[in-house]
């Protein structure tokens, strides 16, 4: 009887979700366009940065420096006058403005150390941080070549050979796409289960469940398995259609093993969603709770920055969060091709944390149901 009740109540949850167009659009977006934009918008290398150059020297060396800036790193440089620099940067036209002073080539050949001024719009952090080193490298290279009249070939006593494992192309899209899927799994599983419980309360259908021969365990278990199923199917389709086919990201490990780990993670996060749903009295309150809970979970789990770069106390505290272990196993499986022998500690941690969260949420859910009876 319990299994039958859990099955039919779960089917009811799936029908309720199907009738909610906003959540359905949100699910489709989170596992399609959201993944694509996260993978393609975060480009680590410089791309088409606007640069203006004030060439007061008008010498062969200054012209050589001007010609060294070209796509795809920079847009073709615009030659401007000194009085235009501040106005153009105030309007956001240029990210970089390079000023080559008069008599620059003459002073350089005379053995002096003339200065070149580089103005940077630091509000464009991505381009400013990366482009600074690009500009310095280009200018220094052209000056060195001009002075020595040839391309200097430096000979080092050691030949350092670079072999990039797991991401041979050093492509940031490979990291961004998979990590966005991982983050959306955590986000959607919490939102869907919490919203399902709050929707019952707002529509008044909780009272209908109270008069039925069902237990709080059956009600909660039905919400957990139905919402977990939705997220699991969406994850599998996203990995196949968006990550592998659309973005052409190679997955080195077993997708089946990853989906099994996802299922364990969903057991924990859907339980957490039920717990938050019992605390919040309305969807606006639930949204505020999501901001307080979800943001630290995602930022401190190791998906955005390596856990090793965080303070030790944060690393220890975040071991109590299920998505920390999920990020570890997901990266190991999908990036490095790890098997069950390498990720079984994370699997065990998810089972223990999921059981603890389920028990805590069930206790809270029973009290909520009792207060409404």
Segments making up each domain of the chain, as ranges: 2-42+171-372, 51-148
Q: Reading across the β-sheet that carries 117-120, which strands appear in turn?
A: 78-79, 51-55, 96-100, 117-120
pLDDT the model gives residue 367: 85
Which residues does residue 119 pair with via DSSP β-bridges, in sequence order? 97
Q: How far apart are CA 137 and CA 231, in angstroms?
A: 47
Q: How far apart are the first and last CA of the chain?
A: 22
pLDDT the model gives residue 130: 80
Closest listed residue to residue 133, CA positions, set 45, 40, 50? 45
Contact 280, 194 (CB under 8 A): yes
Which residues does residue 118 pair with via DSSP β-bridges, in sequence order? 98
pTM beyond 0.85:
no
Contact 186, 326 (CB under 8 A): yes
Tokens representing 169 are 């192309």
pLDDT the model gives residue 239: 93
Q: pLDDT digit string (tens) for 95-115?
A: 999 999 999 999 888 888 888
271 Cβ neighbours under 8 A, 6+ residues apart = 193, 224, 354, 357, 358, 360, 361
59 Cβ neighbours under 8 A, 6+ residues apart = 104, 105, 106
The pair phi, psi for residue 211, each rounded to 5°, is -90, 0
pLDDT the model gives residue 1: 58
Instruction: Determine the length of the chain.
Output: 373
Per the rule left: phi > 0, alpha: psi between -120 and 50, beta: everything else, 282 is beta
286 Cβ neighbours under 8 A, 6+ residues apart = 194, 195, 198, 276, 277, 280
Q: How far apart are CA 225 and CA 252, in angstroms?
A: 29
Q: How far apart are CA 107 and CA 111, in angstroms?
A: 7
| CATH no. of 51-148 | 3.40.1710.10
pLDDT the model gives residue 42: 59
Q: How far apart are CA 373 and CA 371, in angstroms?
A: 6
In order along the chain (373 residues), what is the average pLDDT of each group of 10 residues?
Answer: 83 88 91 88 73 93 92 90 90 91 90 89 78 88 79 61 72 81 93 87 70 82 92 94 89 91 94 90 87 87 82 90 92 89 93 94 84 64
pLDDT the model gives residue 185: 94
- The b-or-e profile of 165-192 (16+ CB within 10 A means b, else e) is eeeeeebebbbbbbbbbbbbbbbbbbbb
Which residues does residue 97 pair with via DSSP β-bridges, in sequence order? 52, 119
pLDDT the model gives residue 155: 60
DSSP classification of residue 167: -
337 Cβ neighbours under 8 A, 6+ residues apart = 252, 253
């Amino acid at each position: 009887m319990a299994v039958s009740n859990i099955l039919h109540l779960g089917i009811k949850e799936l029908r309720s979700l199907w009738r909610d167009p906003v959540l359905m659009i949100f699910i489709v977006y989170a596992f399609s366009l959201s993944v694509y934009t996260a993978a393609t918008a975060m480009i680590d290398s410089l791309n088409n940065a606007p640069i203006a150059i004030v060439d007061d020297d008008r010498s062969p060396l200054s012209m050589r420096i001007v010609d060294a800036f070209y796509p795809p790193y920079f847009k073709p440089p615009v030659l401007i006058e000194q009085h235009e620099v501040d106005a153009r940067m105030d309007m956001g036209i240029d990210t970089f403005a390079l000023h080559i002073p008069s008599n620059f080539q003459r002073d350089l050949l005379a053995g002096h150390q003339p200065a070149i001024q580089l103005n940077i719009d630091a509000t464009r952090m991505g381009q400013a941080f990366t482009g600074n080193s690009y500009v310095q490298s280009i200018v220094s290279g052209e000056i060195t070549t001009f002075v020595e009249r040839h391309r200097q070939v430096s000979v080092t006593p050691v030949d350092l050979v670079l072999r990039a494992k797991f991401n041979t192309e050093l492509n940031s899209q490979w990291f961004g796409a998979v990590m966005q899927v991982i983050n959306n799994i955590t986000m959607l599983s919490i939102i869907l289960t919490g919203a399902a419980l709050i929707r019952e309360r707002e529509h008044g259908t909780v009272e209908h469940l109270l008069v039925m021969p069902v237990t709080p365990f059956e009600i909660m278990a039905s919400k957990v398995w139905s919402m977990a199923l939705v997220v699991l199917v969406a994850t599998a389709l996203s990995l196949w259609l968006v990550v592998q086919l659309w973005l052409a990201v190679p997955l080195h490990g077993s997708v089946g093993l990853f989906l099994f780990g996802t299922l364990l993670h969903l057991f924990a996060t859907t339980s957490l969603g039920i717990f938050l749903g019992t605390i919040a009295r309305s969807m606006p309150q639930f949204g505020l709770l999501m901001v307080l809970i979800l943001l630290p979970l995602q930022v401190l789990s190791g998906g955005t920055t390596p856990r090793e770069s965080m303070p030790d106390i944060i690393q220890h505290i975040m071991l109590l969060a299920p998505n920390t272990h999920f990020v570890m196993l997901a990266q190991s499986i999908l990036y490095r091709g790890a098997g069950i022998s390498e990720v079984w500690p994370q699997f065990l941690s998810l089972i223990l944390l999921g059981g603890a969260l389920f028990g805590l949420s069930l206790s809270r859910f029973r009290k909520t149901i009792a207060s409404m009876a």
